Structure 1
Amino acid sequence: MSTTADASAPSAVAPPSEAPRSDARALFAVCAATLLVLMNYTAPVAVLPQTARSLGAGLTTQTWLINAITLGLAATLLVAGSLGDDFGRRRIFRSGLALLAVSTVGAAVAPDAATFVAARVVQGAASAAILAAGLGLLGHAFHTAQGRAHATARWASMLGAGIAIGPLASALLTAVGSWRWLYLVVAALAALLAAFGGRLLAESRAARAARIDVPGVLTLGAGLALLLVAVTAGRTGWLRPAVLIPAVLGVLLLAAFVAIEARGRAPMLDLALFRRPDFRLATLGAFFTGLAALGPSTVLPTLVQSLVGVSALGAAGLAFLWAGASFLVSNQMRHLGTRHTPTRQLTVGFALTAIGYLAMLGYADAHSWARTVPGLLISGAGSGLLNAALARLAVASVPADRVAMGSGANNTARYVGSALGVAASITVASSLLPAGHHGGFSAHGADAVLLLGTLTAVLGAVAALARRRVPAPVPAA
């Protein structure tokens, strides 16, 4: 196994008394950028109706207004992690911040839905560089189990904080001005972090020749895009050519991606990592987290606005409850993380997610947003456990010179699951309409979304429990 041997690593150049300060600076820079990424990621959630009206977007296009950034993330996270390991994690991290600033200005001034969607896809690619390289930088900076548990829990708490702040800030700025204002704020902050945040970080890279896996990038990106197109188009029927053709082509391209990675000399995903039980658990757990926790929760504010009649600010407040609970629990795991195995955290996290969804059933029929509050707090706490466990597993389940690749694989699985979860949730919510009604959402559809989330959360818990039955590998002498 090769290890990182970069002379610029803080552990190699800093005296012991300075190492904790250097680690703290790295943690601050990475957490600030992660918070910004998630604020931008969730910006449209509470103001989707207003954004759609401004851009002239129909119901199907609204799915893309939310999912475009997720597509960019899912398609480029693996390559961003691989590039970070090979060309320098700080370099990729700062490049991602610069690209986020530029693309976010594009979203702010977009004249139509197509331009906005294109800008959000580029934002996703920028966010992928920040997330994959950022978590890789933390994996390089913190070496002990306790240090990594502390750092990754802090990082995971920023996911919840960003999800909490993004919709609320977007709704507030929309109320006093325009939904476009938040993107200008994000662009300015990203530019500042790109300019000055790099000074807080030490460069690190793997000790191997750097190559770009172009065939892998193309087949993975195109395959995921076609699958997402198929799931989104399924809203009006699953057996139509518009659904079946992209679905089949997407599966074929993803199979080609696996074949390319298996034979490539410098793959962006080392398939040998899947021989590690913890890596398999991290990847599968991340996929179910996106599918079960992120997908339905992302759509919920729009459903509450449409079916219960709350304002954009009220919907943002509900999202804040869910994400606030996630933030508090993830942050607390920096003290408790090493006392509980990631497997146990994942199992409990999925169980709480399922319980929270069941507690919200019937809110639309009752026309009561208050019915969602207990369930939001419970499922949000479950999301916090999932985020903390997955961040810890992402860096601990791979060799030291593959930490950004591990982060890329983990977050790819998470956002592929999220993209599919959002598309499936909107499809389900808009397909179960009463006779004679066309367009929009229904109360039955809202309950079906919660039941779908419950089922996928239970499957995630089962997958985590199955890992507990696998004996841990015996360390080599």
Structure 2
Amino acid sequence: MATFEVGDTAVQDRRTLTVAALGTMLVLVAFTAPLSTINATAASLHAGVSGTTWILSSMSIGLAAALLSTGTIADDYGRRRTLVIGLLVVAAGSIVGVLIPDVVAFVLTRVVVGVGGAAVIASSLGIIAHTFAPGPARAAASGVWGASVGAGIAIGPLLSALLERVHSWHDAYWVLAVACVILAVAAERLVPESRSEHRRGLDIPGALLLAGGISALLAALVEGRQGWIEPTVIILFAVAAVVLALFILVEYRSPTSMLDLALLRSPAFVAATLAAFVTGAGVIALMSYMSGFLGSALGITAIGAALLLFSWSATSVVTALLARRISPRVPGRVQLAVGLIGVAAGLLLLTGIGESSGWARFLPGLIIAGIASGVVNAALGREAVASVPPGRGGMGSGANNTARYVGSAIGVTVVAVIATHPRSGAATAGLIDGWNIAAVVTATISLIGGLAVLFAHTRVRPAVPNPTVGPGPG
């Protein structure tokens, strides 16, 4: 039982927000930790090209497969409880992953860490939606949550690179595990429990079908790098299509569906979900590949690569905090669209790289993309919970972040295929040409996504309220 005692409401709310934001930050630290040390990690685990792609994509699989389910669990069975369990799963998975020197074991534990991270992210936004009423207070809290996303992305690669230089790439995962355990204890003591008044019920068939379908899809994308017409790849795509179609059918008929399909007719829900997907498939995908590229093609050290990533992610943190000052009269979809178009501009500036390019060549594009990413992150946290019925903040968070990490896994694979496709000439020149093409592709994805979000309201009919969802307190 929690030892929290009711005191000053403002203090209580700040403590709750701090724990929720730190939990999200630690998940993003776990997500980005391999980025700056991917070459050392792959070499230590004797991972080939396919194994390296799996290392980068594996946590996305766990996140994408479990976010909707854990969002429902958080709403129904307790958001604090789900947050605490998620943190402990992240800690356990991180420790086991570095104790077994095998690439398959490491990939599997990264999937487990993704499942734990899904519980943390879904419950953290649900906690914020419950604690802060719609309006300026929730907008400010969502800005802090958005900043925590950028902070995790900033800290993960830098922490990993520094510890790898001092001792080993394993050390970042030990530090992460300790931090998760400490925060789990703090959450149990400081965060009051909350849940939806109208329990929706866990949709077990839907959860299993979604997890299986997404896992098959992402496995097909990763393995497709070895050849898109290989029997295994074709079978995986077919399985994914069938299972995801069954998921939609089950969700349509189930009274306890974890995703209300009527929301697909809601302009706000569609805009937020699409923006999250494009964020993953665009800027996150290119940034996930950047550190390995900088080391292999340009000879920039792991710490140098981490600092360049930091210039993007740290800028997004500052912008996300400042974005709460944006007038509430600015619609969320407009803020998302402007942010994504700004991301596209930043990514376009990362093209035209040559063999003589140094770290300074990347800074303008990274800073512009960072400013725009901060605008997007601040809006996503707010729109994820504002676009669903009251009391279903966990479901909104789960759907939004599922889209983000499915987009990330797809985007990482697409970028890797483009950037490492064999080309005539020297290997370094081929990598650089691949990078320039991948930057244009991800910029195009961001631009098209931004325009689609901006005009989503003209193409989507208003959602029909689901009578099974009660008002709830948040």
TM-score by length of 2: 0.93
1:464 counterpart = 2:469? no
**Unmatched 5+ stretches in structure 1:** 1-7
Which of 376, 379, 385 is the matching residue for 1:389? Answer: 379
TM superposition shift of 1:345: 1.4
1:259 counterpart = 2:235? no
129 and 219 in structure 1: CA distance in 2 versus 1, 3 angstrom threshold: same
Which of 20, 23, 39 is the matching residue for 1:49? Answer: 39
1:285-300 alignment runs, 5 A limit = 285-300=275-290
1:235–1:430: 8 Å Cα contact kept in structure 2? no
Which of 212, 216, 222 is the matching residue for 1:226? Answer: 216
Report the secondary structure of 1:225's partner residue. helix
2:265–2:463: 8 Å Cα contact kept in structure 1? no
**Unmatched 5+ stretches in structure 2:** 466-474
| Alignment correspondent of 1:249 | 239
TM superposition shift of 1:386: 1.1
TM superposition shift of 1:14: 5.8
The separation in 2 between residues aligned to 1:226 and 1:366, in whole angstroms, is 41
The separation in 1 between residues aligned to 2:108 and 2:196, in whole angstroms, is 33
The separation in 2 between residues aligned to 1:433 and 1:408, in whole angstroms, is 40
The separation in 1 between residues aligned to 2:461 and 2:226, in whole angstroms, is 47
2:423–2:430: 8 Å Cα contact kept in structure 1? yes
For residues 260-280 of structure 1, what are the alpha-carbon distances to aligned partners after superposition, in whole Å with 9 as ceiling and x for unaligned?
A: 111112111111222321111
Which of 236, 240, 259 is the matching residue for 2:226? Answer: 236
Report the secondary structure of 1:363's partner residue. coil
1:306 counterpart = 2:291? no
| Alignment correspondent of 1:83 | 73
1:71 counterpart = 2:72? no
The separation in 2 between residues aligned to 1:364 and 1:122, in whole angstroms, is 39
| Alignment correspondent of 1:270 | 260
The separation in 1 between residues aligned to 2:464 and 2:41, in whole angstroms, is 54
2:206–2:258: 8 Å Cα contact kept in structure 1? yes
1:445-456 alignment runs, 5 A limit = 445-456=434-445
The separation in 1 between residues aligned to 2:456 and 2:112, in whole angstroms, is 36
Which of 77, 84, 100 is the matching residue for 1:110? Answer: 100
1:419-438 alignment runs, 5 A limit = 419-434=409-424
For residues 7-36 of structure 1, what are the alpha-carbon distances to aligned partners after superposition, in whole Å with 9 as ceiling and x for unaligned?
A: x9x9xx968xx2222111110111111111
Report the secondary structure of 2:148's partner residue. helix
| Alignment correspondent of 2:363 | 373
TM superposition shift of 1:241: 2.2
Which of 395, 406, 412 is the matching residue for 1:416? Answer: 406
| Alignment correspondent of 1:178 | 168
TM superposition shift of 1:434: 2.1
Report the secondary structure of 2:455's partner residue. helix
The separation in 1 between residues aligned to 2:385 and 2:201, in whole angstroms, is 22
2:262–2:463: 8 Å Cα contact kept in structure 1? no
2:262–2:464: 8 Å Cα contact kept in structure 1? no
TM superposition shift of 1:339: 5.0
TM superposition shift of 1:473: 6.2
The one-letter amino acid of 2:248's match is V
- State percent identity of aligned pairs: 39
The separation in 1 between residues aligned to 2:414 and 2:327, in whole angstroms, is 33
Report the secondary structure of 1:338's partner residue. coil
Report the secondary structure of 2:259's partner residue. coil
Report the secondary structure of 2:151's partner residue. helix
1:443 counterpart = 2:432? yes
The separation in 2 between residues aligned to 1:472 and 1:212, in whole angstroms, is 28
The separation in 2 between residues aligned to 1:429 and 1:31, in whole angstroms, is 34
1:59 counterpart = 2:49? yes
The one-letter amino acid of 1:400's match is P
1:228–1:420: 8 Å Cα contact kept in structure 2? yes
TM superposition shift of 1:70: 0.8
For residues 149-203 of structure 1, what are the alpha-carbon distances to aligned partners after superposition, in whole Å with 9 as ceiling and x for unaligned?
A: 0001100001111101110010000000000001001101111111222222111
Aligned residue pairs: how many? 463
For residues 400-455 of structure 1, what are the alpha-carbon distances to aligned partners after superposition, in whole Å with 9 as ceiling and x for unaligned?
A: 21111000000000110011111111111111422686x99611111111011011
1:235–1:428: 8 Å Cα contact kept in structure 2? no
The separation in 2 between residues aligned to 1:461 and 1:155, in whole angstroms, is 22
